[in-house]
C-alpha cells in the first residue's frame, strides 16, 4: 500500500514538473513536439515494412525519403496557388468593402449614418490588414523557420528509428504488479489518439478539397484559400465550416453583391461538406471507437491554447485523449470496487 502511494505521489509530481517545463520551454519545444508527432504517425508504416522483412533503419530511410518527396511536390504545386489566392484577396478586398458601402449609402441614410458606415468600413479594412500583419509577425517569432526545417526532420528520423527501443525501455521501468494495467491504459490511449488524429487529418484534408473545389466552381475569388483554411481548422468541431461560411459569404457579398443565388450556392457548398463529413467521412475515418466528445475537444483546445499558446493547441488532442481514458478507467474501477461491491454486500 505504501509503495502504491509513493508511486502515485511520484506520478503527480511528474505531471506538475512536465507542465512547468512545458510552460517554461514552450518557445523551443515546438520542433521536438512536431518531430515526435511525425514519428508517432509514421511508426505503424515502419512496423509494416519490418513485418515484410525490411530492417528498421532501411524502413526509416525509405519512409523519410517518401515523405520528403511528397512534401516537396505538395509545396511545389500548392504554395504558388495559395500565394496567388492570398494576393488576390488582398487586392480585391478594398474594392469589395467600397462596393458594400456604396450599396448601403444608396438606401437614403442620414449624413451621420453615412459617416458611421464609412468609418466602420475603414476600421474593418485596417483591422484586417493589421491582423494579417500581426499573425505573420507572431508566426515568425513563435515558429522559427530554420528550426522547423532542420530540427523537426532530425528528431522525427531518430525517434522513428528508435521507437520500438524506447517503448521497450519504458516498459522495463514499469512495476511488475502494475505492468498489465499500465499497458492496457497505454493501449487505450494509443487507440483513442491514433484513431482520432489520423482519421481527423484525413477528414480535414477531404473537407478542404471539397470546399476549395466547390467555391472555385462557383467562381468565388479567393475560394481556394478559404476552402483549404476552413478544411484545415475543421478538427475543431463546427468551427471550420462556420468560419469558412462566414468568410466565403463576406467575400461573395463583395464580389457578387446581393445576388442571393450566388450566395445561396456558397452556403450549399458548406452544407454539402457538412453532410458528407457527418454521414461518410467521420463514421468511416474516425468511427465511434474514439470516444472523444466534441465539447471536450473544444474545451481542451481553448484551455491548452490559453495556457501554452500554439504548442498547447498541438498538444490539446493528446491531452484530451489521455485524460478521457484515465477518467473512464477511474470510473470503471470505482463502479467495480465500490458501487457494485456495496450493492452485492
- What is the Cα gyration radius of the chain? 25
Lowest mean pLDDT among 61-65, 109-113, 293-297: 109-113
Give the integer Cα–Cα distance in Å for 198 and 205: 11
d(CA 245, CA 151): 37
Which pLDDT belongs to residue 343?
Answer: 57
Helix (H) or strand (E) holding 234: none
Nearest to 158 by CA among 39, 28, 37, 29: 39
Confidence of residue 142 (pLDDT cuts 50, 70, 90): very low
pLDDT of residue 136 exceeding 70, the answer is no
Lowest-confidence range among 80-94, 160-174, 199-213, 216-230?
80-94
Transcribe 44-90 into DSSP letters: HHHHHHHHTT--HHHHHHHHHHHHHHHHHHHHHHHHHHHHHHHHHHH
The pLDDT tens digits of the residues spanning 226-255 come to 888 888 888 777 778 888 888 888 888 878
Q: Average pLDDT over the chain, rounded to whole?
A: 76
The rounded distance, in Å, linking the Cα atoms of 90 and 133 is 12
Pairwise CA distance, residues 85 & 20, whole Å: 41
CA atoms within 13 A on the CB side of 316: 23
pLDDT at 275 over 80: yes
Instruction: Tell whether the torsion through CA atoms of 307, 312, 313 and 318 is positive or negative.
Output: negative
Residue 321 has pLDDT above 60, yes or no: yes
Domain range summary for the chain, segments of one domain joined by +: 29-173, 195-286, 292-345
Per-residue model confidence as pLDDT tens digits over 70-82 = 888 877 777 777 7
Amino acid at each position: 500500500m505504501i509503495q502504491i502511494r509513493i508511486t502515485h505521489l511520484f506520478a503527480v509530481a511528474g505531471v506538475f514538473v512536465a507542465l512547468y517545463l512545458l510552460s517554461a520551454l514552450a518557445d523551443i519545444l515546438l520542433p521536438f513536439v512536431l518531430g515526435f508527432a511525425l514519428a508517432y504517425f509514421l511508426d505503424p508504416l515502419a512496423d509494416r515494412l519490418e513485418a515484410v522483412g525490411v530492417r528498421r533503419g532501411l524502413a526509416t530511410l525509405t519512409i523519410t525519403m517518401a515523405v520528403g518527396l511528397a512534401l516537396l511536390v505538395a509545396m511545389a504545386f500548392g504554395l504558388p496557388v495559395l500565394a496567388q489566392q492570398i494576393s488576390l484577396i488582398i487586392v480585391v478586398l478594398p474594392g469589395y468593402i467600397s462596393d458594400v458601402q456604396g450599396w448601403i449609402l444608396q438606401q437614403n441614410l442620414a449624413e451621420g449614418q453615412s459617416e458611421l458606415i464609412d468609418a466602420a468600413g475603414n476600421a474593418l479594412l485596417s483591422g484586417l490588414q493589421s491582423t494579417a500583419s500581426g499573425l505573420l509577425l507572431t508566426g515568425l517569432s513563435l515558429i522559427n523557420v530554420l528550426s522547423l526545417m532542420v530540427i523537426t526532420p532530425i528528431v522525427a528520423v531518430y525517434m522513428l528509428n528508435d521507437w520500438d527501443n524506447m517503448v521497450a525501455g519504458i516498459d522495463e521501468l514499469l512495476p511488475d504488479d502494475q505492468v498489465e494495467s499500465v499497458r492496457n491504459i497505454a493501449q487505450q490511449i494509443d487507440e483513442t489518439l491514433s484513431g482520432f488524429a489520423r482519421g481527423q487529418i484525413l477528414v480535414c484534408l477531404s473537407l478542404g478539397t471539397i470546399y476549395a473545389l466547390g467555391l472555385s466552381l462557383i467562381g468565388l475569388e479567393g475560394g481556394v484559400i478559404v476552402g483549404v483554411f476552413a478544411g484545415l481548422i475543421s478538427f475543431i468541431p463546427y468551427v471550420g465550416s462556420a468560419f469558412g461560411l462566414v468568410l466565403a459569404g463576406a467575400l461573395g457579398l463583395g464580389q457578387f453583391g446581393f445576388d442571393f443565388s450566388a450566395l445561396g450556392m456558397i452556403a450549399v457548398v458548406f452544407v454539402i461538406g457538412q453532410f458528407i463529413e457527418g454521414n461518410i467521412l467521420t463514421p468511416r475515418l474516425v468511427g465511434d471507437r474514439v470516444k472523444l466528445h466534441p465539447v471536450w475537444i473544444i474545451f481542451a483546445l481553448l484551455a491548452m491554447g490559453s495556457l501554452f499558446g500554439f504548442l498547447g493547441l498541438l498538444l490539446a488532442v493528446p491531452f484530451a485523449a489521455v485524460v478521457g481514458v484515465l477518467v473512464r478507467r477511474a470510473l470503471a474501477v470505482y463502479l467495480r470496487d465500490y458501487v457494485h461491491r456495496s450493492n452485492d454486500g
